[in-house]
Structure 1
């Protein structure tokens, strides 16, 4: 059985990636472009992939393919309908980031809420010496206790973020994508959370319902001038609207760990915001604590072994 890992470098090379226990041939590539994928998986039985796009045309060139083992949770790079039509099983890795993503989320929240980057830069520029006293107050500092946290998405990560928020004394509101109506759920209406939240954080998948769920119109509805945090997926927010919203004061800060194109090109709208003290961009590393990556690697191989044993787990079902 031939296993091809298309983008091995997407999982830290310091991570122990054990080989499956069954007889196999293992082939791995550091990176694979979308134009290289079809040729590289042509004779594969199992393909391991993180972020390489696998569309219907690519799948058509892989007649032996039986399993797509995604080395991540998100599967928006996979044509799930085409896999279903071909009878190809898709598995993903779940719940490995239950600590690392929420911790990164709050690192960003704390940094913005307490103006840590702005104060660090001011000290570096000599502002403390200029103050002629023991401190200075050039940038706002706000507590999280007593504020309202709006969480979009109530999966494992959203719930973990909410637990940390409650421990810090925050009031937590959950909502889903705009337009969703579910009278039996605990969700508040999307627009109501936009109005009430002091911090809004995104923890939902990217799909047709959630793409650009926050754009210029939604940013203008954020009456409490919240922080906007996205450690979920690039594309959940209309990225071209973030700079104008910061400039107009509709939001008091924004922090992103993801962008719609990764890495972002030099003309990406975020590239003009990097010197702002109220904006932080990190390079899609919220998931990447050493502990989380090892858990991901272990579960990835578990998924492959379970499939080969005839008991597949963590199967991804296409949306109806």
Structure 2
């Protein structure tokens, strides 16, 4: 009997110094740095288990993979997997949860402080000689705000939203969880969506991307916010209308924005955020909020645990 074949389609989405533990069963391991769409079927035609982070596996691809038993998603989000088809065909799908509950919230807080205190602006001023021209021991070319006593509205109350809330409270912030958009009756501990936007000094997005949350923050929502609000998106790029966000920043209808996720990744100059990356009130990072070494190692461990559990007939972190 041949050994089960495990194929990792996009190993370079995880840094090379991160070690994936050995699986607790005999198998053939094949990994590729990246996999373009036209190579997916060829590389998975004999696979029993596939590991993927961002490679899309839709019905057109999956229908050509007769041996496939399991998809191990090397991330929390699984919108790149055709879940209805997997359910129909009995293909198991497992994702990774709870691995970045330190890394992502800390990144949110870092963006918040950097923007509220205008750290990048002051750095640039020093590089451009502003300090020397001022001839003083310090200078104030940008406003500097405090965080303590301000209000953070969080959209999405899962593990990451709750962990971010804990850090914000520790800093002396009031934390509000926004009810789902369009819901009139609020759950205990939630505020109506529009009201939660209006009272926020900082808004942090942590909800999944789906049909209901696509562009949950658009032009209308941005117009309801305070003029000094900071919008931080470490969730998914499609949660925020990027064109509307840039317009609001340029017109100074909102204070600032910190963005770690984009509608298409990697993003290029056709993306409005990249095209306007020089805005003083915009801070961009390349989808790395999740990426502390400890978080990624935990992710790798969970991926392999998920596969091991599947082979033992145990449901662990199963989507299906």
TM-score interval (norm. to shorter)? over 0.9
Count of residues in correspondence between the two structures? 317
Distance in 2, matches of 1:12 and 1:259, equals 20
- Structure 2 counterpart of 1:14, from 14, 17, 32: 17
- Structure 2 counterpart of 1:225, from 223, 228, 247: 228
- The answer to whether 1:194 aligns with 2:197 is yes
- The answer to whether 1:46 aligns with 2:49 is yes
CA RMSD of aligned residues (A): 1.1
- The answer to whether 1:276 aligns with 2:279 is yes
What corresponds to 1:95 in structure 2? Answer: 98
- Structure 2 counterpart of 1:267, from 260, 264, 270: 270
What corresponds to 2:66 in structure 1? Answer: 63
Alignment of 1:1-320 (within 5 A): 1-317=4-320
- 1:82 Cα deviation from its structure 2 partner: 0.8
Q: 1:224–1:147: structure 2 CA closer, same or farther, 3 Å change rule? A: farther
Distance in 2, matches of 1:54 and 1:144, equals 43
CA deviations over 1:20-72 (Å, ceiling 9, x no partner): 12010011110012232122111110000001111111110111111100011
Query: TM-score normalized by structure 1?
Result: 0.97
- 1:265 Cα deviation from its structure 2 partner: 2.5
Query: Does the Cα contact within 8 Å between 1:195 and 1:224 map onto a contact in 2?
Result: no
Greater mean alpha carbon deviation, residues 112-121 or residues 222-231: 222-231
Query: Does the Cα contact within 8 Å between 1:17 and 1:298 map onto a contact in 2?
Result: yes
Distance in 2, matches of 1:81 and 1:265, equals 32
Query: TM-score normalized by structure 2?
Result: 0.97
CA deviations over 1:253-294 (Å, ceiling 9, x no partner): 011101010001321111222111210111111111110110
Q: 1:96–1:194: structure 2 CA closer, same or farther, 3 Å change rule? A: same
Query: Does the Cα contact within 8 Å between 1:46 and 1:65 map onto a contact in 2?
Result: yes
Distance in 1, matches of 2:35 and 2:185, equals 41
Distance in 1, matches of 2:50 and 2:298, equals 19
- 1:177 Cα deviation from its structure 2 partner: 3.6
Query: Does the Cα contact within 8 Å between 1:41 and 1:62 map onto a contact in 2?
Result: yes
Query: Does the Cα contact within 8 Å between 2:257 and 2:283 map onto a contact in 1?
Result: yes
3-state SS of 1:63 partner:
coil
Distance in 2, matches of 1:184 and 1:237, equals 24
Query: Does the Cα contact within 8 Å between 2:180 and 2:192 map onto a contact in 1?
Result: no
Unaligned runs of 5+ residues in structure 1 are none
CA deviations over 1:147-167 (Å, ceiling 9, x no partner): 110000111110111111111
CA deviations over 1:77-134 (Å, ceiling 9, x no partner): 1111111011011101110000000011111111000000000000111111111111
- 1:181 Cα deviation from its structure 2 partner: 4.6
Unaligned runs of 5+ residues in structure 2 are none
Distance in 2, matches of 1:182 and 1:16, equals 47
- 1:184 Cα deviation from its structure 2 partner: 3.4
Distance in 2, matches of 1:213 and 1:109, equals 20
- 1:225 Cα deviation from its structure 2 partner: 3.2
